[in-house]
Chain A
Amino acid sequence: MNLRIFKALAVAAPLLVAAAACTDPTVAPKSTVTGANIWNDPNSYAEYMAKLYGGLVLTGQIGPNGPGGEGDISQIDEGTSEYLRLNWYLQELPTDEAVIGWNDPGVPDLNLWTWTSTNTIANAMYYRVYYQVVLANEFLRQTTASLLASRGVSTTLKTQIQQYRAEARFLRALAYWNGIDFFGGIPFVTEADPVGGPPPKEAARDSIYRYVVSELSAIKDSLPLPSAAVYGRATTMAAHMLLAELYLNAGVYTGTANYAGALTEAGTVINSGYYSLNPVFHNNFTSDNNLSPEIIFAALEDGSHTQTWGGMTFLVHAGCGGSMQASWFGMDYCWGGYRMKQQARRQFSAGDARGAFIYGRQTAIDSTTAERMRDSVAGKAKSSWTAVDSSVTDSVINIGSYNYGAAGPKFTNKTSTGGPGSQTTMIDTDFPIFRLGEAYLIYAEAAVRTNTNLATALGYFNALRQRAYGNASANIASAANMTTDTLLAERTRELLFEGKRRTDLIRFGKFTGGSYLWAWKGNTPGGAATDAHFNLYPLPANELSANPNLTQNPGY
């Protein structure tokens, strides 16, 4: 070889390399994991699933929230953007159950029925639904057999991932259920739609309903069976329970009722043998409620590791106010948030353990002379209540003042034995999404509406009442007494503040219209009839400008 050429090359090569460096501005991130390499870590599959489940209670990557702007959902306060807190606002505030005096964006409009397509809460819920859907889709895309093979994933992990895939599809189904329940017809995206693709088409409410039903039917047996080891995870029974919820409301979602389906699915859950009623009702809502045999599916919270300003942290703190002591609930201080409306409060009778937590008024209460609504529930006349302040009533005359309406601190950060949670700001209590008590009520309602299995239904119905009263004294005598009105009232007592109320009222035909009025319905203190378009929340105004394929729900 010509030595000069060789030498020239030896000089030129580094120069060329240097020249390339001097003309190529590309810099790849060093200290951040990117989409290009994340899946090279076998742990990432479980970590991604933790994110997907965590989407139910966590709001971002810094718990309980980042210094600003780091939340999963933007354009809303991060703490408020939590899945179950949004769900709770939308399911409870416009109904006969709850009111909140805060002026946080979007909240007053829900109290007063003045929400529009820019309502912060409804918008955030919509995006929270799709956040879950998109996360699940990405997981399904990234865990196809061929991709797993190309990454050399171990066979053990591959088996695990198969189950993860079913769980991801469950969580997507859960999100889509909330989506069609709140918003009707919505965009439809699956793992077949790539990230950054064109705006998706809108699918009709019933078509997404059918998709969700088919998904759940397809995956239910790939999901694990309930056990302490999979507490908090999507199980076969959780899938049956979600199917029961879907069938129960099929009439609303599709126009064709399917109470028989609901009866079957609820029956499957009840008869599976995995669950039993917690003998102490209240222990479903304590910081050790993970031990309750009644919970079918729950979002898991932990004061130390799973911190959020939503979920139970919100429910426990916001349920305490007035002169109530935060320490009664094992926490640092009260937020003075939601109270009961009189319509819900007055459905509780004396002796019902489910009403034992209800306080009559919020001023001048201390731990010894706690003047609780159970005094009135016990039949005492208002005049005999201790130190009656006539300015204080259980009627929500004034939303802004905590003095009006009854406090109902159903949830607590104390354990069933009165012990403390792991800390006082962040709550340990898990959020029960499905529990056996509700399965009983679904069964009872489906039986009544299909006029079948009434004796069994009556048994389930009375089981709840017997637990509430500690004896059979308040049992109802015959299945004939299980009218739709009794069923709806029983749902108030059993499921108060559990985030299902609006769906129930719609199914019973009482959410809009004038057949049932409650405080502030239709923006009047005494309640007024409302238009049927309120049965759906509006699609976000921002979404309509970003996705030209969508049509706004009527009336907005």
Chain B
Amino acid sequence: MRRAGFITGALLAVLCAVPLRAQQTAATVRGQVVDDATKQPIAGAQVSVAGRTALSGADGRYVISGVRAGSDTVRARRIGYAPATQAVTVLGNATVVADFSLSPQAVGLAEIVVTGYGTQSAGDITGAVSQISAEEFNTGTIATPQLLIQDKVAGVQVLDNNQPGGGLSIRIRGATSVNASSEPLYVIDGMPVGTGAGGGLSAGRDPLNFLNPNDIASITVLKDASSAAIYGANAANGVVLITTKSGSGGRHGTQIEYTTTFSSSSVTRTPQLLNATQFRAAVAANAPSKSTLLGSANTNWYDQIDRTGYGTDQNLSVTSSGDNTFYRLSLGYFDQQGIIQQSATQRLSLGFNYDQRLFNDRLDLKANVKGSRAFDTFQAGDVLGNATGMAPTQPVYDPTNATGYWDWPTNQSGPSNPVASLKRSVSQGTTWRSVGNVQAEYRLPFVANLKANVNLGYDLTQANSANFQPNNLAFQIRQNQGFLSLSNNSQTNEVVEAYLNYAAPLNFVPGNIDLTGGYSYSQSHGEYPYFQETGLPSNLLGINGISVGGASVIQNSTNIVDYKLISWFGRFNWNLNDRYLLAASVRRDGSSRFGPGNQWGTFPSVSLAWRVSEEPLLKDIRALTDLKIRASWAKTGNQAFADYQQYPTYTYSNGQAQYYFNGQYTTTIRPSAVDPAIHWETTNSYNVGLDFAFFRNRLSGSFDWYTKKTTDLIFTVPVAAGTNFSNLVTQNIGSMRNTGVELSLSAKILEAQRSGLGWTADFTIAHNANKLLTINGSNGVTQIQVGGTGSATGQTIQVLQPGYAINSFLVCQQAYQSGKPVQNTYVLPNGTTTTGCTSADWRPYKSPWPSLELGHTSSFTYSNFDFGFTLRASLGNYVYNNIAANGGSYQNITSGNVWPANIDASVLKTGFTAPQWLSDYYVQDASFLRMDNITLGYSFNVSGRRWRVYATVQNAFTITGYQGVDPTAAENGVGIDSNIYPRSRTFTGGLSVRF
């Protein structure tokens, strides 16, 4: 308040003093620069009058003070636009408004791109940055923001687990880490929402689905390290900046928009299993003594658990744009049923953006608040695994069983009835989350072009989960005799940031500079209480009650985790004649996750760009609209690993891991093995790129080559026995490299003249090669087996081995005879065959990572119709078909002590009598071509209101040679297909109207 008072006082003093010294006072020229076509504000436009110059802000507004009285010409120019002039007559001490509407010359270059702690126009960008705005977003039934940009950005892989409401993960230019997270940092309206999958806490499937995708104005992906480096120790996986819709910059006045969609999803593909007839025949042939166990039913268990899932998305927003006050209020309700019964997601969301300009636009106050309640339900228990394993000859219901469902007797292990699990168990999560911030931008008086920014933000989450499985489910009779778990996790994050920005033309040398420097403080406090009991005395209470007295085993725990990140950052941009561009930034991060002596890390970046097309020699080539060559280097960090890794901690045992000592069962304590010197992973990246546009932007695109080497990779590696409290200690050891190329092309093939046909086609192509270089420092050689398959105890199928992509498969080469795999016979590297697949014969073979990813979007407009589709192709990605590997042999029915389980249909081809888990037969090429989205829309006006109706098909079809359920959903891209959630095809019909 004091400060505001001071400012007001100062302004009043200035105003009061003016009449007395009229001849000496200077006037102010202010206004807004907007795009003539879109009416969107243009930032960074250079506006000059009478030798004074200013740059327009993100909202397009500019202020030039100290203009001497008289008639003059105000000039505005911006790269990508035709320069404009306006004659003004300035009276002493008055404020004159001069708004500019610039006509674009090459729209792509003028687009405002959100960057870390600021904005830039696309033409000035020196790194690899892709921004996708709302018009380009994917449509249909979209639960989480990440799906908006699926297939849209070269080098950005959005991996989906098919479930309603998310479980998405994003890889920007490949995975850069094995044991820390490879997820990007998400920043929502300047508020970083944490690292790790989706950023933050959730009791649902995806932490980011608290955000209503309809509230998002644009998503910017900072792909190369130089653009991301301003986020320092959180930037190694790239940064995703999400900007939400606001009132500012829109049409003057108040506008109400209502959109509604209804959707229907159905299953595309389920595992290929034996049907009842085939199963009976298999049992009769291979385990005749068990034929008597088989029932007379004919049950397709997947048919019993799946459904057509319906969904709706309702959004209402009010946007108001005044002279100095702007706001947007939105209300959203999203509800989607999964295609497996009991799985669903619901979200009720509220968003409010408020923007107030004060003191002649000197002060800009913004408040963004998002709040939502998400309610996720899950199919409880191993429903998919049991649907795969349950014999198709058995019935669903059994009136003689107390539960009403048929199940195998529980004296032997075996699958249990998935329908009973579905109907009688509960698994759900409720997430309350609110993210908000207040930002103040103040153009300092006395120093022209200097702005001070303060950003105060918070992120609150309450995530409650509850799971219940009754004590008389077959699985529970065998194992726990009933299960209940409850958790009430909460997390509070706070951010305080302050930075100064100075953007001005230079008078002594040509060009403009843009300097930013600041400080950021963020802290996080999480509490994670957890309760679990097994051996339930009764099922009456479900998730709603705790029956401690009667339960046999109770586990209670609470965990409190605090975290701090303190940073200083600075950036210097220099634009010389729009031709030579230089950007350099540095961030110094101090994190509570780094061990003593390693608390601070410095992350610099440098990038250069040369706009060749602006050179006099090329300027006259009319076909060439733009040509820019870019190069950058940066060092970024990854600290997305657990807290307190550097502290040796002691863990108490639970009540089931006590030892009889001193006459009683005594809780045990275990010291943890730590390396106190643990610190961030470092990624050094180089990027060389080319942006081009031809024929007045009819054809534009960019090409990038990059290589990034991550060192100090955190690995949990073997340490010399006898030196620590575990055979493995987590250390900064190891390195990997990702190298790739990306090409994006955008072509306006047909330009819609009035009522004509318009066609825009976008293509993305990306290739990334991942290679693990070392995993154990200088000691080299060793390999780490990963990728548990759950078949045999401790069985793994993948490997981390230097020289190979991470998560390469570790298998034996299957031998074939007349096209048929020969059981237990494998080919050695020297070409001879061997019986059995022992560890000496294992070889790294293929990996889950695609060698080439292609995306294509075509958008057509004709009259009031719009039509578009998005295609995606992925080549060279492999998946271990664990359903076939684990369930594709007659051992499912011959082995003793277990009830006969259904068999993967691959057995009809292989005839295997025992599982061949480590055969490369099951490492299958999962390359695919998928029609991700087809949309047809029609827009029309009814009594002055703009209406649009549209229909979308998501996942229209997939062409793949992969034999399993879905080539993409395998464990979020890590390539193991173990009873994954089936993929759905979704039809969505939508309507939107603006008042």
Q: Which residues of A contact B (CB under 8 A)?
A: 22-35, 38, 44, 46-51, 53-54, 57-58, 60-64, 72-77, 79-80, 102-105, 108-109, 112, 114, 116, 118-120, 126-127, 129-131, 133-135, 138, 186-189, 193, 195-200, 229, 232-233, 300, 302, 304-307, 321-323, 325-327, 332-336, 362-363, 400, 402-403, 423, 425-426, 540-543, 545-549
Given A49-B661, A63-B655, A131-B725; 7 other pairs, CB 8 A cutoff? A31-B559, A35-B647, A50-B668, A104-B793, A305-B658, A306-B657, A546-B718
Q: Considering the chains assembled together, what is the distance between the CA atoms of A326 and B915 in angstroms?
A: 25
Q: When the two chains form the complex, which single residue of B649, B656, B658, B670 contacts A29, counting CB atoms closer than 8 Å? A: B649
Closest 9 CB pairs of A and B: A63-B656, A77-B794, A63-B657, A199-B720, A189-B722, A547-B720, A54-B659, A542-B718, A27-B592
Which single residue of chain B is at the shortest CB-CB distance from A59? B657
Contact status of A130 and B659, CB under 8 A, knowing A26-B592, A103-B917, A334-B897: no
The answer to whether B657 touches A333 (Cβ under 8 A) is no
Q: How far is the CA of A39 from the CA of B653 in the complex (A)?
A: 17
Proximity string of chain B (769-790) to chain A, C-beta cutoff 8 Å, 1 when within and 0 when not: 0000000100111101100000
Q: How many residues of B contact A (CB 8 A)?
A: 88
List B contacts of A34 (CB < 8 A).
Answer: 647-650
How far is B824's CA from A112's CA once the two chains are assembled, in angstroms?
Answer: 15
B650–A38 CB distance below 8 A:
yes
Q: Is the CB of B665 within 8 A of A305?
A: yes
Q: Identify which of residues 685-738 in chain B touch chain A, using a CB-to-CB cut-off of 8 Å.
A: 716-728
A48 to B669, CA, bound (A): 5
Q: Is B599 a contact partner of A26 (Cβ separation < 8 A)?
A: yes
Bound state CA distance, A342 and B411, in angstroms? 29
Known: A48-B669, A189-B722, A362-B896. A541 touches B782 (CB 8 A): yes
B119 within 8 A of A: no
Given the complex, which residues of A lie within 8 Å of B653, measured CB to CB?
51, 54, 58, 61-63
- Whether A29 and B654, one on each chain, are in contact in the complex, defined by CB atoms closer than 8 angstroms, is no
Q: How far is the CA of A241 from the CA of B650 in the complex (A)?
A: 33
Given A22-B566, A31-B560, A58-B657: A323 touches B411 (CB 8 Å cut-off): no
Query: Can you name the residue of chain B whose Cβ is closest to the Cβ of A25?
Result: B590
Contact of A232 (CB < 8 Å), options: B560, B563, B599, B660: B660
* B718 with A540: CB separation less than 8 A: yes
CB contact under 8 A between A25 and B591, given known A103-B792, A103-B917, A114-B838 = yes
Q: Are B792 and A333 in contact (CB under 8 A)?
A: no
A320 to B2, CA, bound (A): 82
Flag if A336 contacts B720 (CB, 8 Å). Answer: no
Cα(A531)–Cα(B917), bound, Å: 30
- B792 and A187 within 8 A (CB): no
Could you pull out 28 A-B pairs where Cβ atoms are within 8 angstroms?
A33-B669, A35-B650, A38-B671, A50-B666, A61-B653, A62-B555, A64-B656, A74-B728, A79-B793, A80-B793, A103-B915, A105-B796, A116-B840, A130-B722, A134-B723, A187-B720, A195-B724, A196-B675, A232-B661, A300-B660, A304-B552, A306-B658, A306-B659, A327-B411, A545-B781, A546-B719, A546-B720, A549-B720
Asked if A30 and B670 sit within 8 Å, CB to CB, the answer is: no
B73 contacts the other chain (CB 8 A): no
Q: What A residues does B643 contact at CB under 8 A? A: 27, 29
Q: A196 contacts which of B555, B723, B727 (Cβ < 8 Å)? A: B723
Residue of A nearest to B649 (CB): A32
Contact A543 B718 (CB under 8 A): yes
Question: Is the beta-carbon distance between B412 and A333 smaller than 8 angstroms?
Answer: yes
Cβ of B562 < 8 Å from any Cβ of A? yes
Residue ID in chain A nearest B557 by CB atoms: A31
Known contacts A62-B657, A72-B670; decide if A25 and B599 are in contact (CB<8 Å). Answer: yes
- B828 in contact (CB, < 8 A): no
Residue from A24, A126, A306 in contact with B665 in the complex, judged by beta carbons closer than 8 Å: A306
Which of A38, A53, A199, A542 has a CB less than 8 Å from the CB of B661? A53
Q: Kindly state whether residue B651 has any CB partner on chain A within 8 Å.
A: yes
User: B669 near A47 (CB under 8 angstroms)?
Assistant: yes
Whether A193 touches B723, Cβ cut-off 8 Å, given contacts A25-B564, A80-B793, A333-B897, is yes
Complex contact B722–A336 (CB within 8 A) = no
Asked whether, in the complex, the Cβ of B412 is within 8 Å of the Cβ of A108, the reply is no
Q: How far is the CA of A400 from the CA of B836 in the complex (A)?
A: 13
Which residues from chain A contact B718 at a C-beta distance below 8 Å?
75, 540, 542-543, 545-546
- Docked-complex contact B659 and A109, CB < 8 angstroms: no
Q: A23-B566, A34-B647 are known contacts. Are A332 and B478 too (CB-CB below 8 A)? A: yes
Question: Contact at B727–A108, with CB atoms within 8 Å?
Answer: no
B521 in the interface (beta carbon within 8 A):
yes
Please tell me if the beta carbons of B670 and A61 are within 8 angstroms of each other in the complex: yes
**Complex CA distance for A54 and B552, rounded to whole angstroms:** 22
- Cα-based distance from A363 to B897 in the complex (angstroms): 10
Determine whether the beta carbon of B721 is less than 8 Å from that of A547. yes
Q: For the complex, what is the distance from the CA of A22 to the CA of B518, rounded to whole Å?
A: 13
| Chain A residue at minimal CB-CB distance from B668 | A51
Alpha-carbon distance between A131 and B792 when the two chains are bound, in angstroms: 25
Smallest distance from the beta carbon of A489 to chain B beta carbons, Å? 31
Residue of A nearest to B775 (CB): A545
- CA distance in complex: A32, B723 (Å): 23
**Digit string of B658-682 for contact with A (CB within 8 Å is 1, else 0)?**
1111110111111100011000000
Task: Report the Cα distance A129→B838, complex, angstroms.
Answer: 25
**In the bound complex, what is the Cα–Cα distance between A341 and B28 (angstroms)?**
100
A127: B residues at CB distance < 8 A: 721, 727
B795 within 8 A of A: yes
Report B-chain residues with C-beta under 8 Å of the C-beta of A53: 659, 661
- B512-530 Cβ-contact flags toward A at 8 Å (1 or 0): 0000000001000000000
A28 CB contacts on chain B under 8 angstroms:
647
Cross-chain contact A305 with B656 (CB below 8 angstroms): yes
The minimal Cβ–Cβ distance linking B480 to chain A, given in whole angstroms, is 9
Q: Which residues of A contact B895 (CB under 8 A)?
A: 336, 402
Residue of A109, A426, A547 ringed by the most chain B CB atoms within 10 A = A547
**Can you list, as one digit per residue, whether each of B556-593 has a CB less than 8 Å from chain A (1) or not (0)?**
00111111111000000000000000000000001110
B675 to chain A, nearest CB (A): 7
Contact A35 B649 (CB under 8 A): yes
Q: A114-B838, A133-B722, A335-B897 are in contact. Are A60 and B657 (CB under 8 A)?
A: yes
Closest residue on chain A to residue B559 by CB atoms: A31
B544 within 8 A of A: no
Contact yes or no, A195 B725, CB < 8 A: yes
Quick check: B721 and A543 within 8 Å, CB to CB? yes
**Interface residue ranges of B807-848 to A (CB < 8 Å):** 836, 838-840
* Interface residue? B181 (CB, 8 A): no
A195 and B716 contact, CB distance less than 8 A:
no
Contact B665 A27 (CB under 8 A): no
In angstroms, how far is the closest chain A Cβ from the Cβ of B889? Answer: 11
**CB-based contact A50/B659 at 8 Å:** yes
CB distance from A131 to the nearest CB of B (A): 7
Closest A residue by C-beta to B655? A305
Choose among A27, A135, A332 the residue with the greatest number of B CB atoms under 10 Å from its CB.
A27
A61-B654, A187-B721 known; A325-B592 Cβ under 8 A: no
Chain B residues positioned under 8 Å from A543 (CB to CB)? 718, 720-721
Q: What residues of A have a CB within 8 angstroms of the CB of B779 in the complex?
A: 545-546, 548
Give complex CA distance A38, B650 in Å.
7
User: B652 at interface (Cβ–Cβ under 8 A)?
Assistant: yes
For residue B804, give the distance in angstroms from its CB to the closest CB of chain A. 17
The reply to whether B724 and A196 form a contact with Cβ atoms under 8 Å apart is yes
Which residues of A are found within 8 Å of B840, using beta-carbon distances? Answer: 114, 116
- Of B478, B594, B644, the residue contacting A32 (CB under 8 A) is B644
B426 vs chain A, min Cβ distance (A): 20
The CA of A75 and the CA of B721, in the complex, are separated in Å by 14
Indicate which residue in A23, A131, A200, A335 contacts B720 across the interface (CB closer than 8 Å). A200
Of A47, A129, A135, A403, most buried by chain B (CB within 10 Å of CB) is A47
Question: Are the CB atoms of B659 and A51 closer together than 8 Å?
Answer: yes
- The answer to whether B658 touches A120, judged by C-beta atoms less than 8 angstroms apart, is no
* Chain B residue contacts of A35, Cβ below 8 A: 647-650, 671
Task: A306 to B664: give the CA distance in the assembly, Å.
Answer: 12
Give B791's nearest chain A residue, CB to CB. A103
- B863 proximal to A (CB < 8 A): no
